[in-house]
Amino acid sequence: MTSSHHLQDELRDAQPRPVWWEGVHTGPQTEPLRGRVSADLVIVGGGYTGLWAAIEALTEHPGRRVVILEQSWVGAAASGRNGGFVSESLTHGIAHGEAMWPDELTELQRLGRENVAQIAEFLQRNNIDADLRMVGKTTLARTPHEVEALRNAVASYLRHGEDVEFLDRDQVRADIHTSAFLAGLRIRGGGLVDPMALVLGMRRVAEEMGARIFEGTAATGITRTGGNLTVRSAHGEVDASHVVLASNAYRPLLRRLGNWILPVYDYVLATAPLTADQVASIGWTQNQGLTDAGNQFHYFRRTRDDRIVWGGYDAIYHYGNAVAPELELRDRSHRLLAQHFRETFPQLAEVPFTHRWGGVIDTTSRFTPIFGTAFGGRLAYAVGFTGLGVASTRFGARVALDLLTGRETERTRLKAVTGTAVPFPPEPLRWPAVELTRAALAREDETGRRGILLRTLDRFGVGFNS
């Protein structure tokens, strides 16, 4: 066991910023909004959801006047700091999809696969080098009950047309050289991307198509003005016929969304680039994404320069839905991640951590996004991607645009789209409810048994079974 004193030392020199920001332009590239502008569509939030909404809207109507308001700068939040896992799932995994939308799951899986294929084609067509690798992922079991859960999941995956393979202990250790894992489920759909390269590439395309982006422009309110909506900021306003809310974990302009969105902080480390010998010592020749099978899980992957990005496990909710830059670093969580990394890969004991960071995830109680409209159908929202937004934000943005036109599509007919999530309780009950649930999930990881709290939540469609 690595001493905590050594762990504090080894993280002292880690830069407090995402590794994805190395060598790229960070910070705003445009001026804040000043004065009054008019638009056909104004999008609040310049991350993946907002950029996809702009790109899809301009693909359909090339002359449309599209404005994006971004409170910080494009790529500053989740879109520029996530793990870069490109998932085909729109349901937070097969098990969750079967529990929530069994009648629709085959269609949802098909739409999810098509969505990722279309993203890959978009990147190729627009010469965006986002290091997209369709390498899939392996989910790894650390305990005997997780082994059984993975073995039992195979039939569900195969039934819904997924390409999966169960790996026993010898097979998984032949792939990933560590004694930490007892089995694996190799899932061949989806892949990995450099998230910051993706967001910057999307930004370039959106601007080339005619979208106007105003950074440093927090939207402070929305009012009806005749037949239009006016979105206000500190120094300006936009009059538009339609609005897409793509603010995700940040304080929503629609009060009702605060009942459904829980901002949860996730923490990440990145190592220095591994030498050829160090890479050989861990195997991992397929270069796929890796995650643990537990409720409290790590996700880890290699970058294009052979660093290991190692994140997850702790998911921290701060009282009162707090979201603030100072919450992006948490010594306790980063030390725990470092300890778990050293225990999983003892052969990498000498590899230093060069970066540590955190970011806020927009969680819903059903673990999938919620969609809807307000202001008589002139505003649509797609929020709550719960850590799987790298690909599904494109699907979500298309749903929001469908809702604004009022047209029925194969997307808007889905119960996964028309249904809503169980609201989280208000404070002061929200924080203890989250803590109780976290403790119950940790107990299930240890024992393999779902306690009465989790079984009750399952019955109400609250999503902790993925």
Per run of 10 residues, the mean pLDDT along the chain (length 466 residues) is 59 96 96 98 98 98 97 98 98 93 95 98 98 98 96 94 96 98 97 98 98 98 94 98 96 92 97 98 98 94 98 95 96 96 98 98 95 97 96 98 96 96 92 87 83 75 52
Backbone angles phi, psi at 143, to 5 degrees: -130, 160
Query: Rounded to whole angstroms, how far apart are CA atoms 100 and 292?
Result: 22
d(CA 152, CA 288): 22
CATH 3.40.50.1980 given to domain 31-133+189-260+364-424: no
What the block records as the tokens of 307 is: 């660093």
Place of tokens 């225990």: 343
Phi, psi of 117 (to 5 degrees): -60, -40
Work out whether strand 35-44 and strand 219-225 pair parallel, antiparallel, or are unpaired. Answer: unpaired
Q: Please give the full DSSP string across 254-265, using - where no structure is assigned.
A: SGGGGGT-EEEE
Is the model's pTM score more than 0.75? yes
Q: In the chain, which segments carry CATH 3.50.50.60?
A: 31-133+189-260+364-424
Q: Dihedral sign, CA of 410, 412, 414, 417?
A: positive
Chain centroid to Cα 401, Å, comes to 20
Specify the CATH architecture of the domain 4-22+134-187+261-360: 2-Layer Sandwich (3.30)
Spatial contact of 77 and 101, defined as CB atoms under 8 Å apart: no
| Parts of the chain belonging to CATH 3.30.9.10 | 4-22+134-187+261-360
Radius of gyration of the chain (CA): 22
Query: What pLDDT does residue 466 have?
Result: 35
Angle, helices 389-405 vs 105-125, to 10°: value is 100
Question: What pLDDT sits at residue 8?
Answer: 64
Could you give the C-alpha distances from 228 to 103, 107, 306, 376, in angstroms and in order? 39, 36, 50, 11
Q: At what angle do helices 4-12 and 331-344 cross, to 10 degrees?
A: 110
Q: Which residue has the tokens 């409290």?
A: 296
SS3 of residue 456 by DSSP: helix
